[in-house]
A and B are shown apart, each in its own frame.
Chain A
């Protein structure tokens, strides 16, 4: 059997923010019909990361999450839409 290297934790779900809408499970392309899905519906009403090795880093879950609860580490350090507008960054930094 081929040895699969364990990857670093890629997907983190913040339980304090998560509202249990399961939108991540619905939108993830690596869930339906897969033997090792990325997300599964947990028994406690929250999604659970089951198999991070299946993740293709499309970041759909991070974009779709309504509560900003999912953080996916893009391994190569690139930002999702490129660097944000300088004015937007300044405005966000000063916002309370």
Chain B
């Protein structure tokens, strides 16, 4: 099978995962042909392939042309990483209009002549081209990517019924109510205990499983939702990530809902860090279906 890897606007972290597969990468390259992959082979132009892994977001016209070319020249197109599946961290740019964002980043007197035209609003790759399979993760865990490639290179594109990160998490409960809500920088979390019940904002209940919940169970870091929304969040239009998390934090801390809500300063970053650009969640974003949501206090 011929396998290619195309990188659009991204941090190239998914490419590093591709390289991190180590011994499997050697057997993959020897058994299949990899004619186009930025970190593996040096070649200009996407050739005809059977499967192409696309990572990153479509930020400007160049990215769009590259994605379209990848679609035309391959039989299967796989969206690799949360950026390609849901917009990921670059999707947070939807908080600003394109012009505001460029001015903010490059200064008021910057000139963009001759630069590729940027998109007005960022959207996941599947809003532009047809996508056959998704592998979310920021970046996808090495083992998950390896099993995905093993399945897909044998001929069938895999999919699995997703649950939430909590179902994989190996922590135990604590007696309620607890202090909070607080952040990991302000308070010390007890080891191997549920972080949400200790008053930390953990997105585990609403995030797709598959990572093994290593952040929460092994390192004591609250889940920030890097695998994207779970099946339940995607399918049920009334399930609001903010309301669900506030309800759980209210139960854990025993405080009033508005007190908990006031403690969370940046709802867009807290609840939609990796999926702000996802069209299915658009009505549930902090700014509703408005094209751009400005950060608090920055509206002119």
Contacts and interface: CB of A to CB of B under 8 A. Distances in A.
Interface of A: 16-17, 19-23, 26, 45, 63-64, 66-69, 80-81, 84-85, 87-89, 91-96
Given A92-B231, A95-B162, A66 B135 contact: no
Interface in B268-283: 279-280
B232 A23 contact: no
B166 A19 contact: yes
Given A92-B231, A94-B132, A95-B159, A66 B148 contact: no
A62 to B, nearest CB: 9
Given A84-B236, A87-B280, A95-B208, 15 more contacts: A17-B167, A19-B166, A19-B167, A19-B169, A19-B171, A20-B173, A26-B251, A66-B196, A66-B204, A67-B205, A88-B235, A91-B234, A92-B231, A93-B159, A94-B133
Interface in B244-300: 247-248, 251, 279-280
Contacts of A80: 236
A44 to B, nearest CB: 12
Given A85-B235, A88-B235, A22 B173 contact: yes
A3 B132 CA distance: 55
A12 to B, nearest CB: 14
A68 B164 contact: yes
Of B131, B167, B232, which is in contact with the most chain A CB atoms at under 10 Å from its CB? B167
B133 A84 contact: no
B172 A20 contact: yes
Contacts of A17: 163, 166-167
6 contacts: A67-B163, A84-B235, A85-B235, A88-B234, A94-B133, A94-B134
B131 A94 contact: yes
Nearest to A63: B239
A85 B133 contact: no
A44 B204 CA distance: 23
Nearest to A19: B166
Contact of A66 (B134, B144, B205, B279): B205
B151 to A, nearest CB: 8
Contacts of B234: 84, 88, 91-92
B70 interface: no
B194 interface: yes
B16 to A, nearest CB: 19
B251 A66 contact: no
A67 B194 CA distance: 12
B160 interface: yes
Nearest to B164: A68
Nearest to A80: B236
B166 A96 contact: no
Nearest to B126: A91
Contacts of B280: 85, 87-88, 91
